[in-house]
Amino acid sequence: MRHSHGLVEVIAGPMFSGKTEELIRRLRRAVIARQKVQVFKPRLDQRYSARHVVSHNGDQFHALPVAGARELEAHLEPDTTVVGIDEAQFFDADLLPLVQRLAHRGVRVILAGLDMDFRGEPFGIMPQLLAQADRVDKLTAICMVCGREATRSQRLIDGQPAHYNDPIVVVGAAEMYEPRCRVHHEVPGHPALLTSQEDASHDASSGLS
Ligand code: TTP
Ligand code: MG
Ligand code: ZN
């Protein structure tokens, strides 16, 4: 008789916060308990290894790259009790009902993903996943500028902050991203977050003071 309780767990946070590491840690515990684990990741993330999820400390776990939610579902085996999903922010909206269906069937679904993109905006389906999760952990990294807690991912292009209108999906690691706190996170062109300095220069150029 199956009497496992389905659960949706989301591990969120900026880049370099150890989301993949935490996902792997939970999956390892499940394997030790002899639970049947399947792990998936979006095919577009080809960093380090196509068939594994890999954390910055080099830890890895076998994972199947899939194009989207439909392909993920097609690969699910009936006796799987734990499903791990890395880089959840890159999945399409069909993942949302699938995750709910799995949890209702008694499957434990553990998802890791970026809550915010480089602009500080909610990333893809992460807001819905976070809202419908039974458990949420927001991890933090360390701001590369001040050493305080970092909640955001700064994208840098030739050392300069990327513009708000730049493409949202750019796969990469330390060569173009670094963790930053709210104060040091820079997004030129952000419509809602003109800095007081930008406000001041805008006022000056328009003759207001
Ligand atoms: P993550 O796994 O979130 O980054 P990470 O491995 O550094 O973090 P962790 O240690 O917590 O596991 O991978 C993020 C991917 O998303 C990476 O390939 C860069 C990409 N990305 C975008 O495409 N757009 C963005 O706006 C940001 C911030 C990242
Ligand atoms: Mg990762
Ligand atoms: Zn900082």
User: What's the CA-to-centroid distance between 152 and ligand 3, angstroms?
Assistant: 10
Give the CATH number, domain containing residue 168: 3.40.50.300
The reply to whether ligand 1 has any atom less than 6 angstroms from the CB of 16 is yes
The parent domain of residue 37 ranges over 7-206
Q: In terms of DSSP bridges, do strands 37-42 and 82-85 run parallel, antiparallel, or are they unpaired?
A: parallel
93-113 pLDDT per residue, tens: 999 999 999 999 999 999 999
Point out the catalytic residue in the list 87, 121, 175, 178.
87
Question: Does residue 51 fall inside a structural domain?
Answer: yes
pLDDT (average), residues 20-41: 96
Structural domain total, the chain:
1
Average pLDDT of the chain? Answer: 90
Question: Where would I find the H helices in the chain?
Answer: 19-32, 69-75, 95-104, 126-132, 196-205
110 - beta bridge partners?
9, 84
What is the best residue among 49, 52, 114 to mutate for testing ligand 1's pocket, by most ligand atoms within 8 Å of CB?
Answer: 114
Question: Does residue 116 fall inside a structural domain?
Answer: yes
User: Is 9 a known active-site residue?
Assistant: no
The answer on pLDDT for 50 being more than 90 is no
Q: DSSP state, 17?
A: S
Specify the length of the chain in residues.
209
The answer on pLDDT for 143 being more than 80 is yes
Atom 1 (ligand 1) nearest CA: 15
Share of the chain above pLDDT 70, in %: 88
pLDDT (average), residues 125-147: 98
User: What's the CA-to-centroid distance between 1 and ligand 3, angstroms?
Assistant: 52
Question: Does residue 2 fall inside a structural domain?
Answer: no
| Alpha carbons 7 and 114: distance in angstroms, whole number | 20
| Alpha carbons 167 and 172: distance in angstroms, whole number | 13
**Quick one: tokens of 168?**
């949202």
Return the ligand 1 atom nearest residue 119 CA: 26
Return the ligand 1 atom nearest residue 113 CA: 3
Where does the pLDDT of residue 59 fall: very low under 50, low under 70, confident under 90, or very high at 90 and above? confident
